[in-house]
Amino acid sequence: MQKRNKQIFRTDLRAPLIISAVLGTVLLGLLTLATAVVEEGLLIYALGLCGVYVVVMAVLLFAYLYRYRRVSAANEAAELMTTEVSDMFRYVVDLPYAIINEDGIVKIVSGALQDMLQYRSPVCNVPLDTFCSVPMKDIIAYAQNGAPVKDVTVTEDGVPIDNSTPMVTEIDARNYELQCYVMRSRGKDYYFVVFKDITDLTALRRTRAEEEPVVAYIVIDSLQELAQYIRVNYRTAVNEIENKLKEWAVSLGGMLREYDREKYLMIFSRSALDRCIENKFHILDTVRNIKLGDNSFPVTISMGIGAVSGSFEDKERAASDALDIALQKGGDQAAVNDGKSITPYGGRVNTMYGSTTITSRVNSQHLCNLMREAGNVLIMGHRGPDYDSIGSCVGLARLAICARGGDSSRIRIVVNRDHANFRICYDVLAHLPEYRSMFISGDTALDAVRSDTLLIMSDVNNVFNTELPKLTKCVDRIVIVDHHRRQDQMYEFKPLMTYIRPAVSSASELVSEMLEFSPYRDKLLKEEATLMLTGLMLDTKNFTQGAGMQTFSAVHYLYQRGAHTNVARRFFAESMSDLFTSSDIDSRTRTYRDKIAITWLSIDHPATEDDNIAVAKAADKLMTVDGIEASFALLRAENTVTISARSFNKINVQIIMQKMGGGGHYDMAGTRLQNTTLEAACLQLKEVLDDYLDNEYDKTPSKTK
């Protein structure tokens, strides 16, 4: 562009030269012809031709000089104007810019930038990094590409992450965005960098972000259930809780409205939400300090917050999803949904949030309808199946058989057929015709997937802990039935039904209730009832942990269907090798910070498939030691370390394990650490314990029903 513009001001000499050459040639030819034809008067002809040539050349020279003067005047005027414009642009126009060479040395700065930097002269030779934090390589890349270069990477989960360096620098407490252009002078490349002031724009964006409305749903956990066990004025209790919530809403500049019994809608700003996150939602502690009855029963609330951009409909939907997770994780929590992940806060009390028999009946009916409409049904538990996982899958299989009119040909349970627990359970079911081809491996399950397949995840809600995680990517219709607190993950799929009740002791108990309150309560076989009773006994440690009134109601139903404790007890017979393993773990037990017990299985111990069970039993056993409030048992197999965690009421091991990538219940949780050693896993566990005990540990006793 610059080369083409310069050609406009050049004088074109081609026409005069061509005319001179042609005219000279013609005159020379005429002179030669005259010499040959005319004998006398040749000098006159020659002088005449020379005169004509001189006159013509004089005219051409005059025309050329005239044009040359005009062009020269125009060039001088243009150069003067360019200089004046450059000076005006540099000193009058308030636009900070700098001209920089390839080595990052600033050659010239504008008047505005000169004033900002307080330089004496616009011509300088200072390094760019003396006042600009943007690297020179980024400026060169911007100028050559015409836009900032994006550096986008993708995580293992396929989530794009923008790692691009912002083209923004700070000068004299103001923010400037850089715009870069390449220019060439005397055979060298220079870079014209404009500093665009975005301080006010950034402040406006920040203000807008801080004032972005946030929608929250708030519910009071289990107040009606508490009222059944203690003498309390229900309305008085609700009013006291509501007053605390109103005071909290006023302090945040928000609006609180009750839209249903014990349920509230709150709208406040993003900046207020940031304050709540900073103080870890202190309102949870405030409400928890409200005691009912004999001042031993804490009241808790659960909160779902939609902090996403978009319409109020989008915010409301996000808040509803977050509230579901807060309740499914046991209540007494605030879950914040930012559209990318759902982050929980709180969870200090093992609440008694649960469902009524009406909830079980409604979910059972809904699940039966889904089973009936599906082309085939696949039921899958967690990997390394225990008795509860297998028992709950068998109970769901019976529900599916009944819902489909007794047809079991299109119902399959996905399980590791080589696992010892499965072999023990299968011996009980082997003589039943519907179970001879019921159990299939993961590879066979992929071949069974159809467009209308219904997949039921039982005793697990974390996709990566299922028997075959990739099966969830092949099926569009998925149901989750579980008693574990939901993990902080955004599902890649939208479940047709999510029935998660952390207050229930086991998945077998949950499925037992669904069968009991379904039209097929009398169809459960005694072998199936025995397996479900075994799973229930496993997760309640023979009814000594987590067992409540609903648990014994489920046991009563299973007994009615033919289950017997003496038969189920055979599943827990301990071999001599198990006894030696238990002794090895016990000998390595250590205490940490007086109230924590940590133990592990020796890496020299020959690995068996029952080691996980032995470690879990060791964690349970340590909870019988006086003064121990939480126990952690570690197992290393190849390059993976498994941790089983247990606690009483004062320590939430679910939060501790969640920080290490796991999850579970308030008082029973676990995690798996990949590519690590036993020493490194123990060190990481202690760091997480220190953080929890120093910042989140509630030193006051927590009594729950």
Q: Are residues 474 and 506 in the same domain?
A: yes
- The stretch 138-146 carries a mean pLDDT of 86
Tell me the percentage of the chain whose pLDDT exceeds 90.
25
Interatomic CA distance for residues 484 and 668, integer angstroms = 9
Give the CA distances from residue 319 to residues 486, 506, 690, in Å, rounded to whole numbers and listed in that order: 16, 28, 32
Tell me the CA distances in angstroms from 407 to 177, 399, 401, 403, 438, one per residue in order: 68, 11, 6, 9, 12
Summarize pLDDT for 253-292 with one digit per residue, the tens.
999 999 888 889 999 999 999 999 888 898 988 888 877 6
Residue 104's CATH number = 3.30.450.20
pLDDT at 522: 92
Q: Is 155 left (phi over 0), alpha (psi -120 to 50) or beta?
A: beta
Give the SS3 label for residue 591.
strand
Question: Residue 520: what pLDDT?
Answer: 92
Tokens of 668: 């029973």
The verdict on residue 211 lying in a domain is no
pLDDT of residue 3: 41
Examine the fold and report which residue of 71, 92, 113 is the final residue of a domain before the chain moves on: 92
Structure tokens at 611: 């080691």
The CATH number of residue 553's host domain is 3.90.1640.10
List beta partners, residue 596. Answer: 592, 630
| Token pair 């004088």 in the structure block, residue | 11
Task: Note whether 566 and 440 are same-domain residues.
Answer: yes
Residues 538 and 677 in one domain: no
- Prediction pTM value: 0.52
Q: Do 432 and 534 sit in the same domain of this protein?
A: yes
- 8 Å CB contact between 536 and 509: yes
Is 489's pLDDT higher than 70?
no
Pairwise CA distance, residues 150 & 597, whole Å: 49
435-473: per-residue pLDDT in tens?
A: 989 999 988 899 999 999 999 999 988 888 899 988 988
Q: Which long-range contacts (CB under 8 A, 24 or more apart) does 473-480 make?
A: 474/446, 474/449, 475/378, 475/449, 476/451, 477/370, 477/374, 477/452, 477/453, 478/454, 479/367, 479/370, 479/454, 479/455, 480/456
**How many other CB atoms sit within 10 Å of the CB of residue 212?**
15
State the DSSP code for 130.
Answer: G
In whole angstroms, give the CA distance from residue 482 to residue 457: 8
Q: Does the pLDDT value for residue 53 go beyond 60?
A: yes
Quickly count: other Cβ atoms within 10 Å of residue 494's Cβ.
8
Q: Are residues 554 and 628 in the same domain?
A: no
159: in domain:
yes
* Sequence-distant (≥ 6) Cβ neighbours of residue 252 within 8 angstroms: 268, 269, 272, 275, 276
Instruction: Tell me the C-alpha to C-alpha distance, in Å, between residue 339 and each of 26, 297, 489, 628.
Output: 88, 35, 11, 40
- Shared domain for 513 and 526, answered yes or no, is yes
Query: Both 396 and 310 in a single domain?
Result: no
Q: Characterise 96 by phi-psi region: left (phi > 0), alpha (psi -120 to 50), beta (else).
A: beta
- Spatial separation of the C-alpha atoms in residues 529 and 512, rounded to whole Å: 9
Same domain, 630 and 683: yes
More confident residue, 61 or 206: 206
Q: 649 with 584, same domain? A: yes
CATH number for 311: 3.30.70.270
Least confident range of 134-148, 190-204, 238-252, 558-572: 558-572
Q: What is the CATH number of the domain that holds 651?
A: 3.10.310.30
Residue 631: pLDDT band (50, 70, 90) is very high
**Residue 702 domain flag:** no
For residues 231 and 145, membership in a common domain is answered with: no
Is the pLDDT at 71 greater than 90? The verdict is no
Instruction: Report the mean per-residue pLDDT for the chain.
Output: 81
Query: How far is it, in rounded angstroms, from Cα 317 to Cα 43?
Result: 110
| pLDDT of residue 490 exceeding 80 | no
Query: Does residue 700 sit within a domain?
Result: no
pLDDT of residue 310: 86
Q: How large is the average pLDDT for residues 92-121? A: 83
Mean pLDDT of 674-699: 87
Does 212 reside within a domain? no
> Of the residues 151, 175, 205, which one is the last residue of a structural domain?
205
pLDDT surpassing 50 at residue 334: yes
Residue 614 belongs to a domain: yes
Domain boundary among 572, 592, 608: 572
In a domain, 660, yes or no: yes
Is residue 265 one of the residues assigned to a domain? yes
What was the pLDDT predicted at 462? 83
* Same-domain pairing of 395 and 531: yes
Report how many domains make up the chain. 5
On whether both 189 and 223 belong to a single domain, the answer is: no
Host domain of residue 71: 2-92
